[in-house]
Amino acid sequence: VIVATVRALKKHGGMANDELSIANVDAITAGFDNLMRHIDNISKFGVPAIVAINRFRSDTDDEVTEIKNLCNKLHVDAIECNHWSDGSSGAKKLAHSVVKLVDKTQSQFRTLYDNSLSLWEKIEHIARDIYGASEVIADKKVRLQIKQYQQNYGDFPVCIAKTQYSFSTDPKLLGAPSQHVVPIREVRLAAGAEFLVVICGDVMTMPGLPVNPSAHDIHLNERGQIEGLF
């Protein structure tokens, strides 16, 4: 299930944040390339997709209909959802549509890349096939680190950490950009979890704690009870 909103597509279509409540079907059409890229990416894993339109109060019927029509041209169902206001009943149609899709479609799940590829090749594969990039770059220090990890952890999958606002590493590059460059800032080995974290661009990884996290105030008292949670 791919969750989409009218506001997000209008944003990708070039509208400013303070204009997103204004009806604009043309902006949705212009921004649909972003959703289409997501749909295409899901298909690369061999599983069917369905779009859930998370509707806002400011969304018009024409805007929602435009998303449905554009998705239908790709042979993908788009279901309007109002669970934020109606609770579970607001997503009932989506649930039935998902069950129907699962019942009638045979999953042909496959991974994006063969595990025999090198760590660097796996990174390039994701950047090229999912993000639409033309190239992955890294300085000598990062390349050497990846080469060293390859010796003992070459069979690990890679997890790329980057901005969620764009297919590129630039949060301002919206839509479905292609032929962009993905710069690797650093790599971190998660040996216990068995994957390599590849950090690209200016992004903060989880948990993203503040200077004084709440954990500093949590402790056990003499009776073995937890204090400081609230």
Q: What is the structure's pLDDT at 73?
A: 98
Identify the pLDDT of residue 12. Answer: 98
User: Are the C-beta atoms of 189 and 153 separated by less than 8 Å?
Assistant: yes
Q: Do 90 and 137 have their domain in common?
A: no
Angle CA 77–169–212, to nearest 5: 105
| Number of domains observed in the structure of the chain | 2
Residue 112: inside a domain: no
User: Are 55 and 82 within 8 A, CB to CB?
Assistant: yes
Domain extent, residue 130, equals: 119-200
What pTM does this model have? 0.87
pLDDT in tens, 1-27: 999 999 999 999 999 999 999 999 999
Residue 204 pLDDT level (bands cut at 50, 70, 90): confident
Residues 98 and 140 in one domain: no
Q: What pLDDT is recorded for position 206?
A: 78
What are the tens digits of pLDDT across the range 75-122?
Answer: 999 999 999 899 999 999 999 999 999 999 988 999 999 999 999 999
Q: Which of 99, 23, 125 is nearest to 64 (CA)?
A: 23
Residue 130 and residue 195 in one domain? yes
Beta strands at 78-81 and 133-137: parallel, antiparallel or unpaired: unpaired
Are 161 and 199 spatial neighbours (Cβ–Cβ below 8 Å)?
Answer: yes
Name residues whose C-beta falls within 8 Å of residue 13's C-beta, 6 or more positions apart in sequence: 24, 26, 27, 28, 29, 30, 31, 32, 175
92 and 13, same structural domain?
A: yes
Instruction: Check residues 32 and 213 and name the one with the higher pLDDT.
Output: 32
Predicted local distance difference test score (pLDDT) of residue 205: 84
Mean pLDDT of the chain: 95
The share of the chain scoring above pLDDT 70, in percent, equals: 100
Residue 109: name the closest of 42, 194, 40 by CA. 42
